[in-house]
Amino acid sequence: MATIIEPESDFSALPDLPPEVYTAPLKRPPHLGEDWLEPKQTEYSVDEDAIWDDLFARQMEVLPGRAATAFLQGLEKLDLAHGGVPEFGKMSEDLGALTGWSVVPVPMLIPDHVFFWHLANRRFPAGNFIRTRETFDYIQEPDVFHDVFGHVPMLTDPVYADYMQEYGRAGWKAMRHNRLKALGALYWYTVEFGLLMEEGALRAYGAGILSGPTEIVFALEAKSPNRIMLNVDRVMRTDYVIDDLQPTYFVIESFEDLYHQTVERDFDRLYRSLSPAFTYANSAIIDVDDVLHRGTQEYLQRGGRGSGAAPV
């Protein structure tokens, strides 16, 4: 592991950020400490609980047969179907007994170095707000539904849970090498939009897919996107889109495969080989790719979400 993090780092306290390391300047609300944690979870209204229930019901109409088994089992283990926004304390108690993780409330997107620190300590920061009826179908900033419904069930899987902790620890090394964009691409194409080959069929495990009804059908069944077996070197050189359906999805053989490809890599050497800018477009197929499906890219070529193009 010493190739991924500094050997003396135990992350028990938030490490000092070296002055030469740049992170996005986010203004911390005055009532928060350096950990950016809210003092307590929001007390949601009846209407907000109803929004959660409606979002949950909509996703459960499309997830069976498409979501990874680990995700569906995680929903059951954490009893997320009981109604209303889950209570973080109870959820953390259950999750802690399974894999040692907890869920902690944050007000908004938080600085990279703080996010990495929480992951390194097996704490998942979840947005302390829920979307409105007006933003029911799409919200760019992750809310409690995306974070808890999309991400947290996967943390009940022991191997995936370990991967997430190591990702947090790896984030500090990426900052020291000024390669946050590359590590962000890895997060995007695995944690947010990853696919898994499960008993010969593709299934989704990425939270961005699992929390949206359109994306999960598009990712698994549409003709437009590429579906390519995961290669970490390639993924970390690949651009991505944050406000539309993905032109390319990367597929893992198993969570053990994901762990081996990332945690057991010499990231020092990899970071030194990466350029500051991305090498490949998000729709590109290159010679080394193990391609499961070469997409038509029809959706992208028609202009994507802004054009009203059908997600085919």
* Residues flagged as binding site: 146, 151, 192
* Beta carbons within 8 Å of 310's beta carbon, 6+ residues apart: 299
DSSP letter for each residue of 53-119: HHHHHHHHHH-TTTB-HHHHHHHHHTTTTSSSSPPHHHHHHHHHHHHS-EEEEESS---HHHHHHHH
Residue 86 to residue 120: CA distance in whole angstroms: 23
CB burial string 97-132: b at 16+ within 10 A, e below:
eebebbbbbbbeebbbbbbbbbbbbbbbbbbbbbbe
Asked if 67 and 203 touch (Cβ cutoff 8 Å), the reply is yes
Report which residue type is found at 285.
I
Asked if 197 and 253 touch (Cβ cutoff 8 Å), the reply is yes
What kind and span of H or E run contains 161? helix 158-176
Residue 254 to residue 250: CA distance in whole angstroms: 12
Residue 26 to residue 216: CA distance in whole angstroms: 31
Burial zone of 218 (CB within 10 Å; 0-12 exposed, 13-18 middle, 19+ buried): buried
Residue 239 to residue 280: CA distance in whole angstroms: 6
Residue 61 to residue 124: CA distance in whole angstroms: 26
Annotated binding residues for Fe cation: 146, 151, 192
Q: Which neighbouring-strand residues pair with 229?
A: 251
